Chains A and B, each alone.
Chain A
Amino acid sequence: MITSGIVETDAAEEFIEEIEKSQDVLPKKIDANPKTVEKGLAKLVLTLIELIRKLLEKQAMRRVEAGSLSDEQIENVGETLMKLENKMEELKEIFGLKDEELNLNLGPLGDLM
């Protein structure tokens, strides 16, 4: 019976890369020092807005999939979501934030998005 652990793989480099990718996406803590507090707060607020935007978008897609939206409604929803997305892009640019930064690590619950 072997009791010391072994690691077997035929793709060590690829696994290391993927594990690092899964860990390095998000900072563990929010950077809230006096110089960056504005950006930190913007990041928090925009993350929550982004979450709501994505939920709205997903709900709209579910309704499209179910065929429960008329052509006119699709048009209206599309216009609203498009404007919302454009506005988010503007805000991200103003605060120098990237898509992957708009997320929160909720510890054992995983990432917010």
Chain B
Amino acid sequence: MKLYLYGIIDSSNQIKETIYGLEGAGVYNIPFCDIGAVVSEIGQPIQEATEGAVLEHQAVVEKLMADFTVLPVRFQTVIDGRDNLLSMMQSYYKDLKDNLERLHNKFEFGIKVIWPAGKVKENIVKAIKSNEQKMSESDASASKRFMKKKFDKYRMDKEFEAKADKFIKVMDIFFSKFTAEKRIEKLKTENLLLDAVYLVEKDKVSNFREAFEHIKSARPDFKYLFSGPWPAYNFVVLSKKSGLLREPEQADLFDKVTQSQTLVGAKII
């Protein structure tokens, strides 16, 4: 019997709520010591990551999140039988338990910020032009003109990054007050100033939300995307590689989930 694994939870008790997972199968908990692996039975391994299947997987994980601390397992994880599952749980018990304790009562939130990169660059060019030039415009040789062009670009890029750092630092000061952990990525594209995930304790969620609203009102010329609460997809740390929990290469898939939710279920403000 093949078992489709959704996540590891901090309980060995049966799930009270009736939850249906992939292929409409009932979801249940297989206990190991004081933790559990939430599964449903599956006929065939999933060949293709369709949007529907990803959303079904995600829906189960989110339902579990209401009552338990969840370590979400990567999409398409199928285990051949209960014995293999229990053997995996035994091997990784300490890691799983450590993560469940660390992530207890905490949610993940995502914040993305788009800034007007074109306008920022325009302002930098203006500032550079008004400042002292390192090389004279009158230098006519091709190699000096080449160097001048390169140097202007170098200054522009440097200043652009410095401005990005400055904005991110200010935002992060607000958010960090209410977060336990964070992962920040700067300028994934020229316009995407910030792509961050924060781990927030349950009782600080409203403070975190207020901090976000404060930032939004302080810089209304930027565009914002706020998402969550999610299970701690980006904060599970394993001391040995299991191949089960979400890894960086799976990020695309889960980002696509977020995008789909933006379109189908999001509250657009």
Contact = CB atoms under 8 A, between A and B. Distances in A.
B192 A3 contact: no
B249 interface: yes
A94 interface: no
Given A7-B225, A12-B266, A65 B192 contact: no
B249 A81 contact: no
Interface string A63-79: 01101000000111111
A9 interface: yes
A98 B194 CA distance: 27
Contacts, number: 135
A3 B262 contact: no
Nearest to A82: B146
Interface string B248-263: 1100100100110111
Interface stretch (B17-25, B42-50, B136-144, B162-170): B136-144
Contact of B227 (A8, A77, A81, A107): A8
A6 B223 contact: no
Q: Interface size for chain B: under 10, 10 to 19, 20 to 34, or 35 or more residues?
A: 35 or more
Nearest to A85: B146
Given A5-B227, A75-B143, A16 B154 contact: no
A6 B188 contact: no
Contacts of A7: 225-227, 258, 261-262, 265-267
A77 B226 CA distance: 47
B31 interface: no
Given A16-B262, A22-B188, A81-B147, A65 B134 contact: yes
29 contacts: A1-B202, A3-B229, A5-B229, A6-B227, A6-B267, A7-B258, A7-B261, A7-B266, A8-B225, A8-B268, A8-B269, A9-B224, A9-B262, A10-B223, A11-B114, A11-B225, A12-B266, A12-B268, A18-B192, A19-B192, A22-B195, A23-B255, A61-B151, A64-B134, A76-B143, A81-B150, A82-B143, A82-B146, A108-B248
